[in-house]
Amino acid sequence: MKLSIIFPPLPFGWTPVAPPILEYLAALTRQADPSIEIQLISGSATPDAYKTVECDLAAISILTPTAVPGYRIADSLRKRGIKVVFGGMHASALPDEAKLHGDSVVVGEAESIWPEVLRDCSQGGMKPFYHGERSDLSGMPTPLYGMLKDNHKFRIVNTSRGCPFNCTFCSVKPFFGAKIRFRPIDDVVRDVAAIPEKMYEIGDENMWWSGETTRAIDLFTALKGSNKKFMGFGSLGPVLSPNGSRMLNAAREGGLLSVWVGWDAISDKSLKAYAANGKIGVDRERAVRTLKDHGIDVSLFYMLGSREDTLDDFKRSIEVADRLGVSMHPSLVVPYPGTVLARQYEPYLYKELGWEYYNGSYALFEHPDPLMTPEKREEQFYLSLLEQLSLPRVLRHMLKVPLAGFPYAHMLSLMAQLPVRAGVKIAYAKWQEGRNLVPGRERARDAQIPACPPFVKGGITTSSLPL
């Protein structure tokens, strides 16, 4: 049997990070049936590769922003007689929708049922839905790192699944559950050793948890022997815990260069509305400074344009970046399907907008402030982002990157911002051309929009594992 594993193109094009599902699902397939021929397709790198695919089964993993191209690929393949199975967070949240474009849908985590999917396909009797269990994470195979070429420079390692927090915007808890499940540290070290590059990413929702700092210390201590550098995602709460300093020292000695932190919202009002206070901790600015004091560079991810936000929040985001000396990566609020936020915002959503608009650069819902029209939110998003990605700011930030990470962290800082800056300029120009073509905006267009405030000069945004 021939299997093609496909990750559809991301909305902002190619990324140097290899989609983790591709090489991991290939390893699960090899573990289940070594005789299966496997082809991996990263849609962002080779968007037309699916057109020449010759296989018996195509496994397509979709996130909400990649659902539309994923469905398009599936429809094309099925016309040629190729079976299609969907998986991923979007398919798990909306399995009936995904089934309209596929022969089968994997709902949830794939490990427990992937061998059954492959066996059923080979025997010609696939079920419409397969429901994966949230199982123990020991015994997971090492992804077939290096199988995917396409000039991807970074691989992802996952060390845990699950999230105990109740942030209304997050898809992780609905998909992976509230209980944190950890992989054996020896398995993680084995996977890192298999990565061909000298730098990698820990792709967990959170690589250190409140109450689990001892485990994080043990993990980072074990990773020190790899002599590789890494970046990852971490919440701010544990940074100021009694064990926080020891944990950060272990992380830096283990190779951590840069941590991406969920700042989530500029205003405390919006942060509370998102129920994200528990993850953020008691003093988020002091936590950021503590990270930098330990020689770790910091990038903050946050959302703008919620129903609690104001126009001032766009300006304040620039002030936060300058005050803390960090890079900021905003997106407009996206109420992803299956989340609490999607249920809360459902009465206000622009129903005419398809999933292709759920990429963090479009206003997707009505706002109670008449000045916060969709066009105004989108424009301010681009302008504030371009301001933060202005060349002087990018260079100033690089100079503020802790010397402990030189030169890798400094190169990483430029690599993370300069390509995004170029992409945002292109995206902003396209947005300006098509701003009046977005459906569902007639209700907001009659509002009077003031001129852009003088503080804005220029700006974009930045842009999970089992099937």
Residue 436: its pLDDT value, please? 73
Residue 441: its pLDDT value, please? 62
Q: Which residues pair with 104 in a beta bridge?
A: 85
The token pair that represents 216 in the structure block: 């994080």
Residue 422: its pLDDT value, please? 79
Residue 455: its pLDDT value, please? 25
Spatial contact of 263 and 302, defined as CB atoms under 8 Å apart: yes
Spatial contact of 296 and 256, defined as CB atoms under 8 Å apart: yes
Residue 448: its pLDDT value, please? 30
Domains assigned to the chain:
2-131 (3.40.50.280)
Spatial contact of 231 and 257, defined as CB atoms under 8 Å apart: yes
Spatial contact of 421 and 389, defined as CB atoms under 8 Å apart: yes
Identity of the amino acid at 67: A
Question: Tokens 């002030």 label which residue?
Answer: 319
296 φ/ψ angles, rounded to the nearest 5 degrees: -115, 125
Residue 445: its pLDDT value, please? 36
Residue 444: its pLDDT value, please? 39
3-state SS assignment for residue 320: helix
Spatial contact of 23 and 150, defined as CB atoms under 8 Å apart: no
pLDDT in tens, the chain (467 residues): 999 999 999 987 777 889 999 999 999 999 999 999 999 999 999 999 999 999 999 999 999 999 999 999 999 999 999 999 999 999 999 999 999 999 999 999 999 999 999 999 999 999 999 999 999 999 999 999 989 987 788 899 999 999 999 999 999 999 999 999 999 999 999 999 999 999 999 999 999 998 999 999 999 999 999 999 999 999 999 999 999 999 999 999 999 999 999 999 999 999 999 999 888 888 999 999 999 999 999 999 999 999 999 999 999 999 999 899 898 889 999 999 999 999 999 999 999 999 999 999 999 999 999 999 999 999 999 999 999 888 888 888 787 777 777 777 777 777 777 777 877 888 888 888 887 778 766 543 333 322 222 222 222 222 344 56
Cα–Cα distances (Å) from 102 to 11, 84, 85, 131, in that order, read: 22, 5, 6, 16
CA 72 to chain centre: 22
Spatial CB neighbours of 464, under 8 Å, sequence gap ≥ 6 = 20, 21, 63, 88, 89, 171, 172, 175
